[in-house]
Amino acid sequence: MTEILVANKSHVKYAETVCSLMYESALKRGTGIAKRSPEYIAKKMEEGKAIVAIDGDRLIGFSYIESWQHKRFVANSGLIVDPEYRNTGLARKIKRAIFDLSRRLYPDAKIFSITTGLAVMKLNSELGYVPVTFSELTDDDDFWKGCEGCRNYHILQENNRRMCLCTGMLYDPEKHKAATETENPEADRDVNAVREMIPEKVLSPKRIAQLRKNLRKIHLI
């Protein structure tokens, strides 16, 4: 049975596996190899800033959180699914879990992503991210240093970091605030009941926000 969990120190034993999966996938895709050490991954696990997907005693998926510019920006990075478990909706579940965790740990931060991958673009859109120019993302040098291992890094540099082959995508909590402003526990309970019944793919954050808004109106009558 697959479990999707917030990581803790009991998962540190999987840090090497996470790095191997990332390394093998980068080799296959012909992209640059992101420099993430097992120690770095282990630290994210210990800090509870990562999601692990486990099947029995096997790690089958992972993603973690990084924050930038004094926690004003957050990125959900290092999404990886074991090749044997792909195309079964596992990335969608991990993305949802790391997104929810980011919202909980950094409720005011903008969440962003840069990617060339269609799967990630689709999943980001479902969560309420929209495409943006790089000017809307963090200007933290440490974030952009992470691109150094990419074979397209020279393009980023030639364009003074204004554009590259990746698409920038951003979730801005301010834009989603209106629908969640008023407290109403009954409406929230109903929303959670609906979330349990309907697949995540169908119930995007935008739809959840709309549903919550309508239920609040009903409960106020």
CA atoms within 13 A on the CB side of 78: 29
Closer residue to ligand COA (CB): 90 or 127: 90
3-class SS of residue 128:
coil
Secondary structure E strands in 108-164: 110-115, 130-132
Q: What's the Cα-to-Cα distance from 132 to each of 52, 111, 114, 140, 169, rounded to whole Å?
A: 29, 12, 10, 17, 5
Closer residue to ligand COA (CB): 45 or 120: 120
**122 scored as a contact of ligand COA (CB under 6 A):** yes
Closer residue to ligand COA (CB): 30 or 107: 30
**65 scored as a contact of ligand COA (CB under 6 A):** no
CB of 166 to ligand COA, least distance (A): 8
Q: Of 50, 91, 111, 164, which lies in the binding site for ligand COA, with binding defined by CB under 6 A?
A: 91
Closer residue to ligand COA (CB): 10 or 37: 37
**CA–CA separation, 65 and 56 (whole Å):** 24
| CB count in 10 Å sphere of residue 36 | 19
CB of 39 to ligand COA, least distance (A): 21
**30 scored as a contact of ligand COA (CB under 6 A):** no
Q: Of 38, 48, 117, 149, which lies in the binding site for ligand COA, with binding defined by CB under 6 A?
A: 117
